[in-house]
Amino acid sequence: MSFIVGIDGPSGTGKGTVTKRLAKKYNLLNIDTGATYRCVTLEMLRKNIQLDDEEKIAKMLQDINIEMKNIDGNLHVFLDGEDVSEEIRGKEVSQNVSQVSSIKQIRLEMAKLQRKMAQGQDTIMEGRDICTVVFPTADIKIYLDADDGERAKRRYKQNQEKGIDMSYEEVLENIRKRDKIDKEKEYGALKVAPGAHVIDSTNMSIKQVEKEISKLIDKKLKDKKKEVKIYRIRPETPWKKFVRAVVKGILYGFYRIVFRIEKINEENLPLDESTIVCANHLNIWDAVGLVVSSKRRIIFIAKEDLFNNAFLSWIGHLFDVIPIKRGMRDMEAMKRCIKCLKNGQTIGLFPEGTRRGLEKGAKVQNGAAYMALKTGVRVVPVGISGSFKPFSKVYLNYGKPLDFSQNKDKIPEKDQLNEATKQIMDNIIMLTNIGK
C-alpha cells in the first residue's frame, strides 16, 4: 500500500526545498510536478510550438520523455535523456510555464505521467493541483502559502545564487502574474483542496515548516500501521474456505426461510469470467443476501467503519470484503478491486454508495463505471425489490451483462463515466419493478 504526501501552493513558498528534506527524512520518492510542466514549456520553446497549436502539442506530448533521478542527494530532471535541471529554471521558461500549464490537454497528460511515476511507491509530490487533481486521496494534503513579497525575496535570492539575471521587481511581477494565471485556470486551478492542512510560511523557516509537516506525517504513518493490521487480507486456506462455505450455507438457509428470497434470471451472472455486480441498496441485509445466495463468490466493498466491530471485522475477513473510505475517492480500494477483477474474481458494489432507496436525483458514485471502463469487465445489474421484513418476500432480479470493453486499459473521461453510470443505474431501476 503506497503512501502519498501532496504539497500544493504558489511559487516561492518553499515547497521544493521542504519536499526534498522530507523525501530524504522519510525515504519518499520526490516528484517535482512543476518540473514536468517546465520540461514541456522548454520543449515547446525549442520547437517553436504555439499555445493554440493543438495538433503539434499532441504530437509533442506523445513523443516527450521526462525522467527524474536522485543523484548525490539532488533531484535531476531529464528531458529526452538530457539533464535540463538548470535550464528549466531559467528566465524564459519561468515567464511562459504558467500559460503552458494552463492548457487542459497538457495538464491531463502530465497528471497521467505524475500518477505513473508514483505508482506503487511511497511518494511526496509538490505542485499546484496535486491534492485537487493528481492525488485527491493523498494520505497527507498540504497547502503551503506565503506573502507574495516574501516569496519574491526568496526566489530572487535563489536566482542570484544560480546566476540568473532577474531584478527583484521582475521576480515579484512574475510571481503575481503567475499567481493570477494559476488561480484562474479552467482546469487544475490553484486552490486549497478539501481536507488540506494550510500552512503559512511567511514568518517560518524551512526547518519550522518541515517540523510542522513532519508531525502530520508521523501521525498518519502511525494510523496507517493500525489500518494495515486491521485490514490486511487473510491468505486463502482450506480451513478458511471450509468455514466460509459453512457460514454461507447457514446464512442462505436463514434468508430463504425468513426473507423468502427469490432469485430471478441468475443465469445472467457468468460463472467463468470476471464480473462487476451492481445493485440498488435498500437495507444492510441486501449485500449479505447477494453474497450468500449467489453461485459465484462475490467480493463486496463496504465502508471501513464496519471493521471497527469485532464480529463484522471477522465476517469481512472471512468473505474478503474490501474496506473503502467513505466520502472520498479511495484509490487504494479501487486498485484492490481492479486486481481482483484481473484475477478472475467478481466484485459487488452499490453505485448509490449508501442506502438511499433509489431516491430521485440522488448522487450516484462512478466507481463501478470506472472499473468497468478501465478493465473491460462486464457489469451485471441487479434489481433488489420487496421487503427485508420477516416472512415477507425479497426478489434479486439479475439483468443481462453490460459491455464497456471499448475503453479497456485507458483512463476514462468524465463524460464516459457519467454515461456508463447512467446506463448501469437505468438497468437497475428497470429490474426493481419485479414484485411490485
Instruction: Please give the residue range of the domain that contains residue 294.
Output: 235-431
Do residue 11 and residue 125 come from a single domain? yes
Single out the residue in 185, 202, 230 at which a domain terminates. Answer: 230
Answer whether 0.85 is exceeded by the pTM: no
pLDDT number for residue 230 = 47
What local confidence, expressed as pLDDT, does residue 37 receive?
A: 92
The reply to whether 260 and 212 lie within a common domain is no
Residues 315 and 244 in one domain: yes
> Pick from 197, 230, 263: which residue ends a domain?
230
Write down which residue in 196, 230, 264 finishes a domain. 230
Based on the domain organization, do 224 and 276 belong to the same domain? no
Number of domains into which the chain is organized: 2
pLDDT at 361: 47
Question: Tell me, what's the pLDDT at 231?
Answer: 47
Kindly report the CATH number assigned to the domain that includes residue 207: 3.40.50.300
Domain check: are 34 and 153 in the same one? yes
pLDDT at 354: 56
Q: For position 3, what pLDDT does the model report?
A: 87
| Structural domain contains residue 419 | yes
What does the alpha-carbon distance between residue 279 and residue 287 come to, in Å, rounded to a whole number? 9
**Below-70 pLDDT ranges, the chain:** 1, 73, 225-235, 326-329, 353-363, 408-410, 434-436
One domain, residues 18 and 127: yes
User: Which residues are paired to 383 by β-bridges?
Assistant: 397
Q: Are residues 327 and 196 in the same domain?
A: no
Domain-embedded: residue 436: no
Query: Does residue 156 sit in the same domain as residue 196?
Result: yes
**Rounded to an integer, what distance in angstroms lies between the CA atom of residue 154 and that of residue 152?**
5
CB 280 within 8 A of CB 383: yes
Distance CA 396, CA 280 (A): 10
Residue 162 sits in the same domain as residue 270: no
